[in-house]
Structure 1
Amino acid sequence: MKHIRYQVFISSTFRDLQEERQAVLDAVLNMNHFPAGMELFPASDSTPWEVIERVIDDSDYYVLIIGGMYGSTDSDGISYTEREYDYAKKTNKPVLAFLHQDPDTIPAGKVEMKPVARKKLQEFRDKLQNHHCKYWKNAQELQYKVAISLIQEINLNPAIGWVRANEASNEDLLKRIVALTQENDRLRELARAQAGQFNIPQPKTRRPGPVKLFYSYAHADEAMAQRLQMHLSLLRRQNVIDSWSDRRIDTGADYAGIIADELERADIILFLISANFLASDYCWDVEMRRALERHKSGEARVIPVILRSCDWQPAPFGKIQALPKDARPISNWTDEDSAFADVAVGIRAAAEQLTMP
């Protein structure tokens, strides 16, 4: 089976979004795709805009990040970021736009101070919000959302992309793939160098091997828990995850002790949310409490999976981003398999982030 790699153009202002760009670069690189952006371009005899057009033309997907700056403008007063977006739309590139959720909270040094620039930024945001876009608050959330969105876009709208040299048959294509593979290695080194230059924190390095997955759920929801496990079977077969639930406990074993040990070893802890979960004293008082402590300390990641409609938002985990898409309960989807598949895509992205080199 051919492993297709895609070139992803990353567009944004630069100085105010160094940490955020680095997070997105890491996400793209660790998905084994090729990031492209102005700071990665070599010196050239071409004008900057000619280079931009050429690279966008060669790219498969276009990712736009908007913070609090409109950015430098051309002779017409249009920022290069907005020009890049307009060109990507004109050439029918798949566009994934990510806007800062609350620009008023951005530090003063990273926002436009001139009224004209602020007005143009707001007009640009309004233009983007007329189409589909997502919102972010910090670099970590942006990285997660970009990874999820790219996976979903690739699944729904696969581009031509590139394949490895040993999987291609055309000699010219072979040479080009080899060159791109070498360029990918160079970009990885450059990204690491930039991270050191700007003191950008790197993701925690996890131990090698599959990500440990822990299911916290009420036994009344066991049927849905088993369906979720089936949808995660490919992740298990690919050695991405090693999932655990209390159904693996042998009769007569130390039930509470084994659960506590597995909870401490888990990298990702799934809360399977329903009224049954909220009513379970063991889920609430034991598993949820310790899981949220580990989530807060950065030792593990909690992901709520909304099985059925219930009043879960005021709970202690209510502000953690939930699955499936838009936290829509799985039981409310017309096709529940599509909902479980969406959850699987989200868990894959989270697991791949935790195993970044």
Structure 2
Amino acid sequence: MELDLLRPLYDTDTEGPVVSVHMDTSRTDQDADKRLELTWRDLRRDLVAQGVDESTLSVLDDAVGGSPHIVGPQGESLFAAQGKLLGAFTLSAPPARTRAVVQAVADPLETVLDLDHQVPYVVVALDREGGDIDAYPVGAFDAATSRTYDGSTLHITRVRGGGPSMASYHRRSLNLWTRNAQGVAAEIAEAVSAVDARVVFVGGDPKALGVLRELLPTHRIHVPLVDVSGGRGGEDAEAALRRSVDTELATASDRIHEQAMEDYREALGRKLAVQGIPAVSDVFAVGNVHTLLLHSDRDADPLKWGTPGDPKLVASSPKALGEHESTAFEAPASSLLLRAATLTDAAFAEILPVAPVDDGCAAILRYGE
């Protein structure tokens, strides 16, 4: 995944400390609002004890529980400093634990792990008249864009009976299906581009889908097209479409992560990857990281040293930062590595549990050393 969403967390006009809050904000029962209120009250008390200023607490007060329209399991990550909200993210699942952290840089590990499992995608509800096309970027529960294309409905149904005019009606019907599918394909291409979608889910009329598939290459749509149940035709069809999309999203995410690990293994074999925190820190220092990989289990994450002056530097001691020694600060390795990845335009991928990697940390390189 790309890490551009994290850039505001490292606003150069805002000096630390930064408050990072990760909460379970699930709304699965009638007591959810009260539970969230009590959870935030306890976290707020902890932050006061850690010396967080009232202006920063106030912006967090306003941001907590900011997605009440989303029902079901979910989480939230909030980041603030010096009275400014740096970022607010709704998570697709609750974080491993609810916590609030105060340190020199943001601690977005839970956020990144969740976003890494969210796939930008497009949903199409299709029939022979046209389609409804919704585009979902990473980190969004609601569509970023919604498009509808409806072509002519004249002779949209094939004639069943015989007679001399039957073939003509059939051709006109197929031509209309094709024209309508052309319009839908053009809208799909726009939607894919808008959110950089990794997959398109289509539910609806199978014959219209067949015509659509033939047209996709001409519109330069090269992401996978996945058939799902449901489609156009009322609330029941739309609800079925949403359920089947949610199921297929998990499968799509698994495929993407498996491919990321395959890319890492291939790069390692070609000496275009390194593993272990020291080796990854070294390649970050020279700007040679294409993709940062971290394991989700960071309970034993070691503390390392960083500096505001050069976010690429992650060191084992202040002295190793050279001219930046006087401004050195200590933070978990994952926090410093994620800052380095974000501000050097590196990508991110989670290391799957089946892949043993030193320190649960690796990097695919931009170029060979």
TM-score over 0.5 for the pair: no
More strand by share: 2
What is the TM-score of this pair, normalised by structure 2?
Answer: 0.23
Instruction: Compare CA radii of gyration and give the structure with the larger one.
Output: 2
What is the TM-score of this pair, normalised by structure 1?
Answer: 0.23
